[in-house]
Chains A and B, each alone.
Chain A
């Protein structure tokens, strides 16, 4: 096994009907004793989780965050009812872990809050591989989004999640997720039109 593919994995994060069914099959296989099913689930979702970690402002230890997400997920698979997709459930777990980390960091650094500028800097630091001019401008546009807009934009555009799934993942309402998305899209367009 090698590093996670930099693509969005099977299904590209969208068209999730068949992918969701495949996830359920793999979960059942793992519960039946097939450890390879766990590897397959990691392969399918690790890249998306890494992407969401970056969108959420995680700069360091993305591997650890993704690992912790999977470990927590597999330890509580009995609690996964399939009401949402497995990937959405993973996003929810990852975001909760991320918030826990930030709270711990805040206490450690005696900081009252994470500034949006800090988050933008964190996101910016990871995009050095984007060489194309159009993509570089797009990266800059996404960097300037608020943390919530960036999370919603990443899940909607990068992963193809529905507003309902986004709402589940980031802990908001479907309507709020839609508003955040359209505000993000407007901000991106305005930046690219400058």
Chain B
């Protein structure tokens, strides 16, 4: 078997066999092969060699390989992200519950002027939030307890922003704000309220670990 003297064409025969040539190059090589017996012989030799190599390939168990592969990276990350979202959702939910409870309490206090009604509402909404935000719930409850004698619509409206802040900030800020509000409201009451205050001392509540409250002395 002779070697073709056109080294360039001969060098491209494996590429022709594997269809790795651009259209123009392929046409040129094909034209050469058509007129070159040496290249036709070598191309046939290459086909036989390729077939022999393929037949000699040992069988490979693909499952055996695939089972050992690492898991896709994003999937592992995706599993952890929802957990953080869930935790965030619970905190948002807890804050929302506090807003509802707080707002309802102020409204009801405004209507009934009593503490027992508010305690009932808090007991109903507390369980879902005690696991994730117990300290905040307790602090917020204490803060609202201090506001009990001031059942004014303005306080209810301001409630959400204050409670929302407690979910991400220190609870001492809430206490400071409530005192200011309390002072401002007490000043307003002193100036505007025509009726005497029936209970001059502020009501204090005892908060247990389950999140339920009861007014002291009741």
Binding site for B on A (CB under 8 A): 1-4, 6-8, 12-16, 30-35, 37-39, 42-43, 46-47, 49-51, 53-55, 62-63, 66-67, 70-71, 74-75, 126-127, 129-130, 134-135, 138-139, 142, 153-154, 156-160, 162, 178, 185-186, 188-189, 192-193
Pair B69/A158 contact, Cβ less than 8 Å:
no
Pair A74/B70 contact, Cβ less than 8 Å:
yes
B86 contacts A by Cβ under 8 Å: no
The interface residues of chain B, by DSSP majority, are classed as helix
- Rounded to whole angstroms, the CA-CA distance of A1 and B68 in the bound complex is 15
Of the candidates B1, B15, B65, B72, which one forms a contact with A32 in the assembled complex, judged by CB atoms under 8 Å apart? B72
Binding site for A on B (CB under 8 A): 1, 3, 11, 14-15, 17-20, 42, 45-46, 48-66, 68-75, 78
- Rounded to whole angstroms, the CA-CA distance of A98 and B59 in the bound complex is 18
Contacts of B60 in A (CB 8 A): 3-4, 46-47, 49-50, 62-63, 66
Pair B50/A158 contact, Cβ less than 8 Å:
yes
For the complex of A and B, the 3 pairs showing the least CB-CB separation, nearest first, are A14-B18, A160-B18, A33-B74
22 A/B residue pairs, CB under 8 Å, sorted by A? A3-B62, A6-B54, A6-B55, A14-B18, A15-B20, A31-B74, A33-B73, A33-B74, A38-B69, A50-B60, A51-B53, A54-B58, A62-B58, A63-B61, A67-B65, A74-B70, A129-B55, A134-B48, A138-B49, A142-B53, A158-B53, A160-B17
- Rounded to whole angstroms, the CA-CA distance of A66 and B49 in the bound complex is 23
